[in-house]
């Protein structure tokens, strides 16, 4: 009988909570954040928010503004933005996070941890690093889109399978940070003002910018240590992502072969002797072949399968890019492909957490198919 009374009391308390305790903020009082940026400044932090501002119901429309606020902490900076907006910030639709270059030197993990735990930012939000400041990225109007936050999502999430774009979400970044190796990476975003009309009609009042995602920021223990160029970005993507678009150029018998990527995917295997075997499978479509004299043949006229050396040449290009990303990161003590986790699974209690990276042997096998 006592149990019944307990359940009745619990049900009544829950009902009261639903009626009285679940306060909601009207839409008109919210500033809906689409993209958020965090910069480290001299006296604390600068938070920049790209905000959709709801208007009255008669206009049926909403514009967006970009606001920035400073504070000794991320929390204070967020409050400054909220005060400037005159509304409570809502992170429910925020799917793009930009970390400024100064912030990623030491403070990226702490800032993200705060945003997820206290500002209710989704762990599934896209995250990128800025080559300069997050404020610059969010204030830059893309030449081919209206809002930079939506453009980032489109290029790095919808088209994240491209060979030189490294889209990641907050969850992936924080999980990698908490691995044994603590090797990590983010797309390093650069914005450059266009010299003329690119994405449409350009005015002096609203310059347009080209966004570049070719480079990758590499982290060790949560701190930025180095930058990989386009080749390193491709190497990481060949291993860590399922690539479905891009191009590969290889030279064989003095001719330059250009291929479209249809599919590239890598499987990893680890042994208890600290050897890692990466097996990469690539399916490519011939675009063109350029001869020594400069003449170009199309895919319809020449079948690259007839050249026995071309598969080896293409496989070497892919393997070299993977090796390049691995070796360049290793110079800074970064286990970019997370070999430590694989070796731990293979060796168990005999795993050497200190010396495994020096003992590690990476073998790369690439199989190429043409279609």
Show pLDDT as tens, one digit a residue, over the chain (371 residues).
556 655 565 555 555 444 444 445 455 567 899 999 999 999 999 999 999 876 555 544 457 899 999 999 999 999 999 999 998 899 989 999 999 999 999 889 999 999 998 888 999 999 999 999 999 999 999 988 889 999 999 988 877 788 888 889 999 999 999 988 889 999 999 999 986 554 454 445 678 999 999 999 999 999 999 999 999 999 999 999 999 999 999 998 888 999 999 999 999 999 999 999 999 999 999 888 888 777 887 755 455 566 778 999 999 999 999 999 999 999 999 999 999 999 999 998 889 888 899 999 999 999 999 88
Architecture of domain 240-371: 2-Layer Sandwich (3.30)
Structure token digits, residue 295: 């003449």
In the prediction, which pLDDT does 297 show? 78
Give the three-state DSSP class for 178: coil
CB–CB of 97/37 below 8 Å? yes
Beta strand residue intervals within 271-360, DSSP E: 275-290, 296-298
Element (H, E) at 217: strand 208-220
**DSSP letters along 238-294, please?**
HHHS-B-B-EEEEEETTEEEEEEEEEEEEEEEE-TTSEEEEEEEEEEEEEEEE-TTS
In the prediction, which pLDDT does 20 show? 46
pTM here is: 0.86
Domain coordinates of the chain in residue numbers? Answer: 26-228, 240-371
């Amino acid at each position: 009988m006592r149990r019944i009374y307990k359940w009745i009391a619990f049900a009544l308390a829950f009902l009261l909570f639903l009626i009285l305790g679940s306060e909601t903020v009207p839409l008109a009082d919210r500033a809906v954040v689409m993209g958020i940026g965090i910069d480290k400044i001299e006296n604390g932090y600068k938070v920049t928010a790209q905000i959709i501002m709801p208007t009255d119901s008669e206009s049926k429309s909403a514009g967006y503004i970009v606001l920035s606020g400073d504070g000794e902490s991320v929390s204070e900076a967020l409050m400054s933005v909220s005060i400037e907006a005159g509304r409570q910030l809502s992170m429910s639709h925020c799917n793009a996070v930009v970390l400024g270059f100064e912030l990623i030197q030491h403070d990226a993990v702490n800032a993200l941890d705060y945003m997820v735990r206290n500002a209710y930012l989704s762990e599934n939000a896209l995250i990128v690093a800025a080559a300069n400041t997050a404020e610059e990225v969010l204030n830059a109007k893309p030449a081919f889109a209206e809002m930079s936050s939506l453009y980032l999502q489109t290029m790095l999430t919808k088209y994240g399978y491209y060979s030189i774009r490294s889209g990641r979400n907050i969850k992936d970044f924080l999980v990698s940070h908490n691995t044994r190796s603590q090797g990590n990476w983010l797309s390093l975003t650069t914005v450059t003002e266009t010299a003329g009309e690119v994405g449409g009609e350009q005015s002096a009042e609203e310059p347009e910018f080209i966004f570049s995602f070719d480079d990758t920021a590499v982290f060790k223990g949560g701190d930025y240590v180095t930058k990989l160029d386009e080749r390193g970005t491709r190497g990481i993507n060949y291993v860590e992502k399922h690539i479905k678009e891009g191009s590969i150029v290889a030279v064989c018998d003095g001719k330059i072969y250009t291929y479209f990527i249809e599919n590239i995917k890598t499987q990893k295997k680890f042994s208890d002797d600290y050897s890692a075997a990466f097996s990469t499978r690539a399916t490519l479509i011939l675009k063109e072949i350029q001869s020594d004299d400069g003449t170009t043949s199309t895919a319809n006229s020449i079948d690259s399968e007839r050249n026995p050396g071309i598969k080896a040449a293409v496989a070497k290009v892919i393997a070299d890019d993977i090796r390049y990303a691995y070796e360049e990161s290793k110079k800074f003590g970064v286990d970019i492909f997370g070999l430590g986790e694989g070796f731990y699974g293979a060796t168990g209690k005999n795993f050497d957490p200190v010396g495994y990276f020096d003992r590690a042997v990476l073998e790369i096998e690439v199989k190429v198919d043409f279609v």
